[in-house]
Chains A and B, each alone.
Chain A
Amino acid sequence: MSIDVPDFDEKAAYDHDRPISGLIRTQLLHLHQAENLSLPPGRRTGININDLQTERQASEYIQKATVLLHRHGKAQAAKAAAKRPRKTKKVGPKVRAVATKKAAKRRKKPIAKARTGRPAAKRRKSSK
């Protein structure tokens, strides 16, 4: 069943010089606060959000702040991961052989379960 959606004049509807709404003003404040809370002073946008009046200006700031926040978070996560000690166990040949046997057993289990149906514990509850 295919339904035609009427076209409209997108160019006429577009106005990036439209003054920002209270909603976008709030978003600017929100991002500005996120910058101040999360980013060291040297890594902030340095943009005075009170100077932003149009949707275009706001979107440029929003883009910059979003990228910086994402980038900072990624760097922090990488730093934390690097600090974490690696869990590496040295295993001798005997231990490795037992582990391989156990792993093979584990691999077999789901096949057996699949034959008898889905495990009850994994069934989802129905919504009320």
Chain B
Amino acid sequence: MSQGLDKLKHIVVLMMENRSFDHMLGGLKKKNPKINGLNGDESNPDVSGNRVPVAPDATFQGQLDHDPDHHFLGVDLQIFGGAPQGPGRLPNMEGFIQSYATQGAGGNSSHAIMHYFPVEGPTRLTVLQTLATEFAVFNGWFSSIPGPTICNRAFAHYGTSFGNVDMNLFLMPAAKKSKVPSIYERLASNGHTGRLYYFDQSSSTMEIANLLTDQSLFGTFDQFLHDCRSGTLPEYSFVEPNYTDHPGPGGGQMLANDQHPDHHVLAGDNFIATVFNQIRIIPELWESTALLVVYDEHGGLYDHVPPPSCTADGFTASAAATGTGAEFKFDRLGVRVPAILISPYIARGTVVPGAEDAVNGRIFEHASIPATISRHFLDDNDDGTIREQSAETFLDLLGDTLRPDNDCPFFKLKG
């Protein structure tokens, strides 16, 4: 066991909203060729058949005011470029502009789906891109389903979406019926601690509202900050961002920081910095915590890596549910998302190879989260689902060497 793993007491997961790997981190390939980002010549056809290349022209807000499609049918078009259903069709990542054009983004505005954030200049993502180069970035972390938020987030909490590929309200009856407990319940029933910190009560939790009657499983972001400071952080924490612009206490304004289009991307970047800083400034916590920053799904934004096949979930979504005319056996992952693991026991510039490396490549998905928590705190996959049991875990990335304090970044936030 490595020193880093031996010292590990806390795992914190911060799950953001709806951005693809290439959109946020693809430009980093220019700085580090090991990062499987963009060369600059990747392209998609638009509705007229003209090839439109990727461009470092993403903006923080105002460019994606039509929410890109990220439902199963739309994502199928993005991944397979409109190829008809049937055996042998291959994912080519050619349908992103066509898909965005169906969302009311007409003409050249549909090309915005190919834009990504540059790594230099005023529109770079200071926090996310710094963390990706300072700690471990995953080349092969995919959303669990080629579909929307709710079913993808379910994999982080339950290791399954109970056969759902959509936003249906499935977790309440389905979770009860299938007797698959959430990772928080599994921890609690084994004498361990886990908590989901939603931003505030006006934002609440996005996907496990069925558990809200058990208040002990929840906290607010303010409580997260307090728990960090007071040494009472649970072994596992899942942090949710603020999903809406809403009035704050005392007449303030709480800005959405989830990065869901078209919320301001820098608000989310600052939120990531706040979570990171809070852990970073407390030496004992910093040395005993691993922080995973990950996105739930790609939100309809372009990524060049075809999602690989995966272990079937044991469920089948009907043709009517997928909307594609074909059923889905949960045997293919969704589009790739940014994922960064942070700890002072991780060497600077660590790149975890993905599908591009046929020998050493490793594929992660959101079921990797409960799989890792379970393996570390519960000693094995006690009640793990099929997907959880076959998922890669990530704590082996923690090494023996503790980086000196002045070797690790700290973010200076204004205001």
Q: Kindly list chain B residues whose C-beta atoms are within 8 Å of the C-beta of A1.
A: 406-410
A15: B residues at CB distance < 8 A? 245
Judge whether A70 and B406 touch: CB under 8 Å. Answer: no
User: Is the Cβ of A16 less than 8 Å from the Cβ of B215?
Assistant: no
B253 touching A10 by the CB < 8 A rule? yes
Check B273–A5 contact: CB distance below 8 A: yes
- Find out whether the CB atom of A55 lies under 8 angstroms from the CB atom of B246: yes
A4 and B209 contacting across the interface, CB-CB below 8 Å: no
Question: Which parts of B1-22 form the interface with A (CB within 8 Å)?
Answer: 1-2, 5-6, 17
At the interface with chain B, which of A28-36, A87-95, A107-115?
A28-36
The answer for the CA separation of A59 and B1 in the assembled complex, in Å, is 46
Docked pose: A109 CA to B373 CA in angstroms: 30
Contacts A5-B412, A126-B2: A59 and B212 contacting too (C-beta < 8 A)?
no
How many chain A residues touch B (CB < 8 A): the figure is: 52
- CB neighbours (8 Å) of A20 from chain B are 244
Q: Digitize B396-415: 1 where CB-to-A-CB distance is under 8 Å, 0 elsewhere.
A: 10000000001111111111
Contact among A10, A58, A123 with B244 in the assembled complex (CB-CB below 8 Å): A58
Q: Which residue of B lies closest to A69 (CB)?
A: B212
Most buried by A among B203, B380, B394: B203
A6–B60 Cα gap in the complex (Å)? 12
A27 x B67 contact (CB < 8 A): no
- Supposing A5-B414, A6-B126 touch, asked if A34 and B212 sit within 8 A by C-beta, the answer is yes
B44 at the interface (CB under 8 A from A): no
Give the complex CA separation of A31 and B76 in angstroms. 29
Asked whether B25 is an interface residue with its Cβ less than 8 Å from the other chain, the reply is: no
User: Do A27 and B246 have beta carbons less than 8 Å apart?
Assistant: no
Q: Please, which residues of chain B bring their CB within 8 A of the CB of A74?
A: 215
Distance of B126 from chain A, by nearest CB (Å): 5
Contact B260 A21 (CB under 8 A): yes
For residue B78, CB closer than 8 A to chain A, the reply is no
Report yes or no: B202 in contact with A62, Cβ–Cβ below 8 A.
yes
- B29 interface residue (CB < 8 Å to A): no
Indicate whether B385 reaches chain A with its CB closer than 8 angstroms: no
Question: Contact: A73 with B379, CB < 8 Å?
Answer: no
Q: Are A127 and B264 in contact (CB under 8 A)?
A: no
Q: Is the CB of B5 within 8 A of A124?
A: yes
Question: Could you tell me the distance in whole angstroms from the C-beta of A105 to the nearest C-beta in chain B?
Answer: 23
> Could you tell me if A127 and B203 are in contact, using CB atoms closer than 8 angstroms?
no
Chain B residues near A2: list those with CB within 8 A.
409-412
Whether the pair A3, B412 counts as a contact (CB closer than 8 A) is: yes
Would you call A85 an interface residue if the criterion is a C-beta within 8 Å of the partner chain's C-beta atoms?
A: no
By the criterion CB–CB under 8 Å, are A63 and B122 in contact? no
A16 close to B245 (CB less than 8 A): yes
A3 — which chain B residues lie within 8 A by C-beta? 126, 130, 409-412
Give per-residue flags for A30-70: 1 if the beta carbon is below 8 A from chain B beta carbons, else 0: 11011001100000000000000001101110110111011
Chain A residues whose C-beta falls within 8 Å of the C-beta of B205 in the assembled complex: 66
Query: In the bound complex, do residue B206 and residue A38 qualify as a contact, i.e. CB atoms below 8 Å apart?
Result: no
Closest Cβ of chain B to A79, distance in Å, is 12
* A107 CA / B296 CA spacing, docked (Å): 47
Contact B1 A126, beta carbon cutoff 8 Å: yes
Contacting residues of chain B (158-207) with chain A, CB-CB under 8 angstroms: 167, 169, 171-172, 200-207
By CB atoms of chain B within 10 A, which of A5, A22, A69 has the most?
A5
Task: Please measure, in the bound complex, the distance between the C-alpha atom of A37 and the C-alpha atom of B176, giving whole angstroms.
Answer: 12
Flag if A5 contacts B213 (CB, 8 Å): no
Q: B141 at the A/B interface (Cβ < 8 Å)?
A: no
Across the interface, do B67 and A22 meet the contact criterion of CB distance under 8 Å?
yes
Task: Let me know if B372 and A8 touch, CB within 8 A.
Answer: no
**Within the complex, what minimum Cβ distance (angstroms) separates A128 from chain B?**
6
A13 to B264, CA, bound (A): 6
Residues on A with beta carbons closer than 8 Å to the beta carbon of B415: 7, 10
CB of A18 within 8 Å of the partner chain: yes
Chain A residue with the shortest CB-CB distance to B270: A5
Instruction: Give the residue of B246, B376, B414 whose beta carbon is less than 8 angstroms from that of A124.
Output: B376
Partner of B213, one of A8, A14, A23, A70: A70
**In the docked arrangement, what's the CA distance between A72 and B213, Å?**
6
Q: Check A30 against B218 for contact (C-beta < 8 Å).
A: no
Q: Could you list 16 examples of A-B contacts with CB < 8 Å? A: A3-B409, A5-B411, A7-B414, A13-B61, A14-B253, A14-B255, A21-B67, A22-B167, A26-B150, A27-B206, A56-B245, A56-B246, A67-B201, A70-B218, A124-B379, A126-B2
Residues of B within 8 A of A (CB): 1-2, 5-6, 17, 60-61, 67, 122, 126-127, 130, 148-150, 167, 169, 171-172, 200-207, 209-210, 212-215, 218, 243-247, 253, 255-256, 260, 264, 266-267, 269-270, 273, 372, 375-377, 379-380, 392-396, 406-415
A60-B202, A63-B202 given; name 13 further pairs at CB < 8 Å. Answer: A5-B269, A6-B122, A6-B266, A13-B267, A21-B260, A23-B206, A23-B260, A31-B212, A56-B244, A65-B204, A77-B214, A125-B375, A127-B376
The 6 closest A-B pairs by CB, nearest first: A73-B213, A59-B246, A127-B395, A69-B212, A13-B264, A55-B244
